[in-house]
Chain A
Amino acid sequence: MKRLARVLRASAWLGWQVEANWADPLLFLIYAIAKPLATTLILFFMVKIVSQGNATGETFRFIFIGNTFFIYVTEVLIGISWTVFRDREDYETLKYIYVAPMRLLPYLLGRAFTRVGTATVGVVVALLFGRLVLGLSIGATATNWLLLVAAVALGLVGVLWLGIILAGTSLVVARHSMNLNEGLSGLFYLLCGAVFPLDVLPAWARSISLALPFTYWLELLRRLLTGRGFAASLSGMTDADLWKVIALATVGLCALAILWFGWCERVARDRGLIDWKTNY
């Protein structure tokens, strides 16, 4: 356990150096918050201009919350699989990490912590921007902030394990398959109802949406922050039901990720893909 903690700490530190040591912290912060702020403003103008008065401030609040917390999904999911490609092909260090006395999986989890950190900065800044600049009320009188942190953390664990599944896939596919990983994030953005109510989706897409854990995660976060739900399709579920679904999905993702990653790792070694270069 102590050893695992050391691996996680060392790889998280390495991740931070790779991400951030080229710039001073202020410049890095600007880079880290530009994307979430721009996305927030895109949605703000969309609601303001596009809806032509049809959408209420409340609609924007729901869209804003979904979009803000979805930052975790894009950043962490894509970040972990990119780590494989960057280490394998750009820095050519994956083979050295592989022969070091540690497992690849905890190393990648540690590297993901940096992404979790930068995503958290993005989320916090976006929430503050929403509250202070856009005048949104973030949080209801009944909001239990500790519970909110727990809900974010639980969802994040699920995101991390899904990231490990993608990282395993990245071990056995060429670099340009990164499009698939990025596309998957786009697919989740579409199907989880991050920026629109699920009820707008056609019935077949809604069924897929209801099979994704992030749909329930975003709904729970919205309920915790506003005191009421967003998706009519989930109105029959209590908060406790949402917690159960997310917890079960997280356990399922964890088991699947460990099995899948182990299989991919074996295949990568069998086929000599640990030092594969595909960045032509």
Chain B
Amino acid sequence: MESRLKQVLAMNLAAVFARAGVRVKASFRESSWVIGETIFPFLSMSAFVLVYRGLHAPREYEGFVVLGGAMIAYWNNVIWGMASQFFWEREQGQLQLYLITPVSRMSILIGMALGGIAMTTTRAAAILIGGMLLFHVELPLSRALPAFGLFLLTLGAAYSLGMILSSLFLLWGREVWHTATILQEPIYLFSGFYFPVSAMGAAVAIAGSILPVTLGLDGIRQVFYGKAAHGLLPLAWIPPIQVALTLVFLLVASVMLRYMENLGKHEGRLTVRGD
């Protein structure tokens, strides 16, 4: 019994590392990708720093937008690299290969998440380092450790949400593309990627806090800038909320994945190609 459990664990861990490995290797295989993943997102973020300068905004707002730019990179990875991934796999005729393997779907998704985080960290690091070096954005590094802890909790919750979305996207057709797009700019707005979410009013801000990136970003800004961050919730509340969200999202994702897979089998929607 014990050896069986060990075998299952080892197999699932191997699946996690294998799926993550594909992403990490693919990220560095093409030099154009590395450039695209670092320089260009930095340039987009620079546009907003320059807008703030043009508007004569207080300096800490430039820090807000740099942190927001880094978090956007992860959110986009959740949308395009997690939520939509099973859709792409199905399009390529690869989904059925995942489904016939003796590993949990969650292991494959965790592998995707870890690989995606590794991939995206290059992009986020370019934004943060570029912002600090070129625009002299002030990020008090003495507070980096608690901010990093909160950042990890945020990633856990955000990628767990990505797993729920991936189960939904599993059965969709071309609306996936448009849905993923709709989860970008509107989310940038309601999650306060570019300015404190509290500025939009308590009702909108609390509604936006359903997304872990909203609260995570709000908390990280509070860690770095204190009261100037115009936080939505007291900082002490945010870590337990993120942990709770992670647990709930993981549970929901596991139920949803099973449900959607069964539904897909019944409706014959798990394959779109003959190969």
Contact = CB atoms under 8 A, between A and B. Distances in A.
Interface stretch (B55-63, B108-116, B258-266): B55-63
A37 B182 CA distance: 11
Q: How large is the interface on B (under 10, 10 to 19, 20 to 34, 35 or more residues)?
A: 35 or more
Contact of B181 (A22, A35, A42, A174): A35
B50 interface: yes
Q: Which size bracket describes the interface of A in this complex?
A: 35 or more
A107 B188 CA distance: 35
Contacts of A23: 175, 178
Interface residues of A: mostly helix, strand, loop or mixed? helix
Contacts of B40: 179-180, 182-184, 186-187
Contacts of A31: 178-179, 181-182
A235 interface: no
B46 A190 contact: yes
B30 A176 contact: yes
A45 interface: yes
Interface string A86-126: 00001000000000000000000000000000000000000
A201 B51 CA distance: 10
A159 interface: no
Interface string A17-33: 01000110000100100
B17 interface: no
Highest count of chain A CB atoms <10 Å: which of B39, B57, B58: B57
Nearest to B174: A22
Nearest to B64: A50
Interface stretch (B7-15, B98-106, B193-201, B249-257): B193-201
A49 B195 contact: yes
Contacts of A34: 181-182, 185-186
Given A45-B189, A50-B52, 11 more contacts: A18-B174, A22-B173, A42-B185, A42-B189, A42-B194, A90-B91, A176-B26, A177-B30, A183-B41, A183-B43, A196-B54
Interface of A: 18, 22-23, 28, 31, 34-35, 37-39, 41-43, 45-47, 49-52, 54-55, 59, 63, 90, 173-174, 176-180, 182-184, 186-187, 189-190, 194-197, 200-201, 279-280
